[in-house]
Amino acid sequence: MLLSNLALAFLTGIISSFGHCLGMCGGIVAIYSARQAAQTAEAGSQPNLVSRIISFLPLHLGRITTYTFFGALVGLASSLLEQFGGMMGWQGAFSILVGLAMLLVSLSLLGILPPIEMAIASLTGGNSPMARMRGLFGKRSIFATILLGILWGFLPCGLVFAMLVLAARAQTLWGGALTMLVFGLGTIPTLLGFGLAANLLSPNLRGRLQKFAAVLILLFAVQTILRGLAVANLIPSLIIGPVMLW
């Protein structure tokens, strides 16, 4: 299951970064890039492509650190619930609940349900780390850039929530952490090349890629629900060759 988790997380990160991530986080990348360019111009230097890429790495390091931390938390929590469920016979119910959560998120990403970001914002009273991020955009300290990335990882995002639900499915601390780590790594190429990719991809194509990522999450949601029903002995397990589908 962990390998399928990691494959889905990485693939979703790559595909969704052209649509959802570019729309949600492209502004952050653009502001950071503009501030960095202005500062280097004031210093009278002209950075090459390699140095520009390196300047973005602490930003993404902070963001992925936040994702990995939350992945570890949900993985640990689900492992504890699994142990408790093992004693109480609730493993199937837990899998069904996780699958239903993934199903709701996928329907939100498909536009069938309202955006998850709206629900999260309403639950948090509209509070956002963005206010604290504004003062860090213009600083050149590597620690300030990492902190900026860490706060970026706290911004409400339906896709990140979907991946956290997927991380919970791993049911181990390390499995949850790795799921979020590879998801974050999958989003880096597009966000790094935002200046080029934003002009090459039409909004229509980006929307289709986001829907494709949502369908992948939907399929794994159905598999997780069926797995829970099989564990609860409500339906038979399905095994095709060496692969156990549920």
pTM of the model: 0.71
Per the structure block, which two tokens stand in for 199?
């002009």
Amino acid residing at 60: H
**What distance in Å separates the CA atoms of residue 165 and residue 179, rounded to the nearest whole number?**
10
- Mean of pLDDT over the chain: 76
* Number of neighbours of residue 223 by Cβ within 10 angstroms: 19
Q: Where are the domains of the chain?
A: 2-244
- Residue 205: pLDDT over 80: no
| Residue-level pLDDT at 46 | 63
* Mean pLDDT to the nearest integer, 21-45: 67
| Residue-level pLDDT at 198 | 44
pLDDT in tens, 139-191: 778 888 899 899 888 877 777 887 888 888 888 999 999 999 999 999 888 78
Q: In terms of Cα–Cα distance, which of 38, 46, 25, 42 is closest to 194?
A: 25
Rg (CA), the chain: 20
| Residue-level pLDDT at 155 | 79
- Asked whether 217 and 53 are in contact (CB, 8 A), the reply is no
